[in-house]
Structure 1
Amino acid sequence: MAVSLQSTFECFRDHIDDHNDRRERLVKISRYANSQSVMFDILSDITALSKKIIFSLHRIAITQTENPPKEVLEQMRKREEEIQVLFQKAIPDLCGSNTWRYHRQISPALQEWIEAMTFKSYILNSRIPTLEELQSLIPRIAVSNSDYLLGLGDLTGELMRRAINNVSLPGGPVETKRIAGVLRYIQSEMEGLSLGFVIKDFSQKIETLRSSTAKVEDAVYSATLRPEGFGVEYIPAEEQSTHRRE
């Protein structure tokens, strides 16, 4: 029954992915073919592939981190290779004097890619790569401090989702507590930079980070207070009086 249900959801996912891929191809066909459109397509593809890597990573439960599903790893490997090919295609338009002239256009795609690569490293290697390590993966594409910080800000949202989704699994409370510590550290470091007037969207990322940290801390608190092995559900304080009246 469980296997059948899982297969059904996987079939749904494959149909949705196929639909999205077809739609993207049709949109590209309808665009006028000029250099700006080609670059837009490249960056859109990098963003879309990075999102797919993130989605694949969420399929790796904390109970599978030491031995991730081979099909998931293979999917990610192929998508990373596709991204590398796309970055290579973008190099001619982003070298020399154009390195920073058009950086604003490529920055959103870089941020999404950074989010995917840092999330992958956290799940598979329990660490967050540095800017220099990420830059070494695409040496001919300039990755700025702003790209890294904003991508790191997006990473925290994925860490929050992972913590919430896995808190009820074996070992989940421990991992959720660990993620809470990572989020608190990133929040402390980013708040100390005071770059709200320098980097666009930085202040918004900080607010989202605070919200993510609070949600994970609440999950840690609930998991800590929830009695283990007694079949007793933890009821938040604000709901306890209602339950007593009933």
Structure 2
Amino acid sequence: MQIQFKAIKAEMKGEDLYQYIRAFSAGLQEFIEAYTFLYYLKSKDLIGWEQVENTLEVLCGPDAEESQVKLLTPTEFVLGVGDLSGELMRYAIGSVAAGTDTDDCINATNTVRDLYVAMVQSGAIRVREVARKFSVLKQSMMKMERTVYTIKVRGSEMPRHVIAHVVNECERDENDVDEGFFC
């Protein structure tokens, strides 16, 4: 990855970044998603723009500093962080389904809710690509909130392994709801 970002930065020297961003946008978004998820797993918090930008600069190495091109754009950052919601949803529901820790699920849900609010407040959802990711973020948040509901409201009524079973069943088929449980 370091080699790829370094090569891109070298090629962009003297060029308009926005003219060529589509060529490497997907890879940059994947990097941001993976890096922010790793940061979340370690700290249980979101990483900021400056930290991601600094990490990209370190990956590009000291020779790349002379190009003065910053690979991270606001749109790519928002798109990469928007993808994070899917990873957090799988992490949250997986932690409950495994019967390990319900606090992880609740914390991840709160983080995705914070992402949702930030995206709405920023106005970034007016960008077509961001709007698509926003709808996925909203679906992930709704799944996570249903899982938290099951934990909080129904959790006192059933043993932990049954909660895990209910969450697994809800995740497998959202349209086939068992009358006894809210999914």
TM-score (norm 2): 0.76
Residue 100 of structure 1 deviates from its aligned partner by 2.8
Q: Distance in 1 between matches of 2:159 and 2:139?
A: 31
Residue 111 of structure 1 deviates from its aligned partner by 0.7
- Which residue pairs with 2:55 in the alignment? 137
171-180 vs 116-125, greater mean Cα deviation: 171-180
2:40 maps to a residue whose letter is Y
Gaps of 5+ in 1: 1-82, 242-246
Q: Distance in 1 between matches of 2:83 and 2:124?
A: 16
Asked if 1:214 corresponds to 2:139, the answer is no
How many residues are aligned here? 158
Aligned-pair Cα RMSD in Å? 2.5
Asked if 1:155 corresponds to 2:95, the answer is no
Q: Distance in 2 between matches of 1:183 and 1:211?
A: 11
- Which residue pairs with 1:223 in the alignment? 151
Residue 108 (structure 2) aligned to one of 179, 193, 198: 179
Q: Distance in 1 between matches of 2:110 and 2:125?
A: 24
> Secondary structure at the residue paired with 1:138?
helix
Alignment of 1:82-161 (within 5 A): 83-139=1-57, 140=64, 141-161=70-90
2:142 maps to a residue whose letter is A
- Which residue pairs with 1:166 in the alignment? 95
Percent of aligned pairs with the same amino acid: 25
Q: Distance in 2 between matches of 1:228 and 1:203?
A: 39
1:122 maps to a residue whose letter is Y
* Distance 1:92-1:165 versus aligned 2 partners, 3 A rule: same
Q: Distance in 2 between matches of 1:143 and 1:107?
A: 9
Residue 117 of structure 1 deviates from its aligned partner by 0.2
> Secondary structure at the residue paired with 2:81?
helix
Residue 205 (structure 1) aligned to one of 123, 130, 133: 133
Contact 2:33 2:83 (C-alpha < 8 Å) held by counterparts: yes
Contact 2:93 2:105 (C-alpha < 8 Å) held by counterparts: yes
* Distance 1:106-1:169 versus aligned 2 partners, 3 A rule: same
1:208 maps to a residue whose letter is V
> Secondary structure at the residue paired with 1:196?
helix
Q: Distance in 2 between matches of 1:231 and 1:215?
A: 19
Contact 2:32 2:52 (C-alpha < 8 Å) held by counterparts: yes
Bigger Rg over Cα: 1
- Which residue pairs with 1:193 in the alignment? 122
Runs of 4+ in 1 over 4 A off after TM superposition: 228-238
1:58-102 superposed Cα distances (whole Å, 9 cap, x missing partner) = xxxxxxxxxxxxxxxxxxxxxxxxx11221122222122233321
* Distance 1:200-1:96 versus aligned 2 partners, 3 A rule: farther
Q: Distance in 2 between matches of 1:112 and 1:230?
A: 35
Residue 128 of structure 1 deviates from its aligned partner by 1.7
> Secondary structure at the residue paired with 1:128?
coil
- Which residue pairs with 1:239 in the alignment? 179
> Secondary structure at the residue paired with 2:72?
coil
170-179 vs 107-116, greater mean Cα deviation: 170-179
* Distance 1:222-1:96 versus aligned 2 partners, 3 A rule: same
- Which residue pairs with 1:6 in the alignment? none
Which is bigger in relative contact order (C-alpha 8 A, separation at least 6)?
2
169-178 vs 146-155, greater mean Cα deviation: 169-178
